[in-house]
Structure 1
Amino acid sequence: MRKIGKLDWAFSGGRIPFESTGEEPKFNSHDKIAVLNTSGETAEIEIFIFYEGREPVGTFEVEIKAQRLRKIRINDLIDPEAVRLDRNYGCYIRSNVPVVIQFSRMHTGQNANAIMGTMAFPAD
């Protein structure tokens, strides 16, 4: 299968809502990335989180097996430091093989839940 995607990705509109309603963990408010690896080898990605007014946090390391999709909740990134809730953040993702990355958010802090998704920015 053909490798598609890019090695470097970024998004700047991150913010994990603090408030959640409904059953945990399914209905916790969260940000998520979906990583598609069409290559024949494992993708080893490194994630860096950028905040306003402080140094970046990272490296969070995640593997995506060959020819697989993996969804990663940003809320679950805790080592080296948990991603802060209710704070604006940006994210830079670097991979050893080309991947495709989509960003999404689920906000369940009120009775009417909201979900949004967008492609991350593919850097050359």
Structure 2
Amino acid sequence: MSERLGQKNWFIADGFIPPISNGDQESHESICVLNCNLEQVELEVIVYFEDRDPLEGLFYSIEGRRTKHIRTSWLKNDQGEQIPLGVPYAMEIRSNQAIIVQYSRLDSTQKELALMTTMGYS
């Protein structure tokens, strides 16, 4: 592939994993990543909070020419630390190669669930 598609650094400013769910759908958030490269990419996610130091060391790999929806609640560092539920946060996604990042949230805290999605900021 001769042209570079995407960017290596992405930002999501509005993160919040709803602490409760209602009905069959679990409230969750996802980093939606498109890797158009032939090679596997390595991601690092850094999570920023209002009242504490960043959560670092969250790594994920995506094979070449693949897409992956990574639930933010699945991410853990080597110490087993995760993004807490019900706490506002923001994310920086770093990649060793250019990727495309979209962000989605399913909020099922009410019977009338809401789905929100937006492109990350590069």
Q: Same fold (TM over 0.5)?
A: yes
Which of 42, 45, 58 does residue 43 from structure 2 map onto? Answer: 45
- Residue of structure 2 in register with 1:105 after alignment: 105
Aligned pair 1:5/2:6, yes or no? yes
- Residue of structure 1 in register with 2:83 after alignment: 83
Distance 1:17 1:109 in 2: 7
Q: Which runs of 4+ in 1 moved over 3 A?
A: none
CA RMSD in angstroms comes to 1.0
Identity %: 34
Distance 2:4 2:29 in 1: 26
- Residue of structure 2 in register with 1:61 after alignment: 59
- Residue of structure 1 in register with 2:21 after alignment: 20
Normalised to the residue count of structure 2, the TM-score between the two structures is: 0.93
1:61-105 CA distance string (max 9 Å, x none): 100100000110001113341111111100001000100000110
Structure 2 gaps, min length 5 = none
Structure 1 gaps, min length 5 = none
Aligned length: 119
Distance 1:88 1:109 in 2: 16
1:35-74 CA distance string (max 9 Å, x none): 0000111010000111111100011110010000011000
Normalised to the residue count of structure 1, the TM-score between the two structures is: 0.92
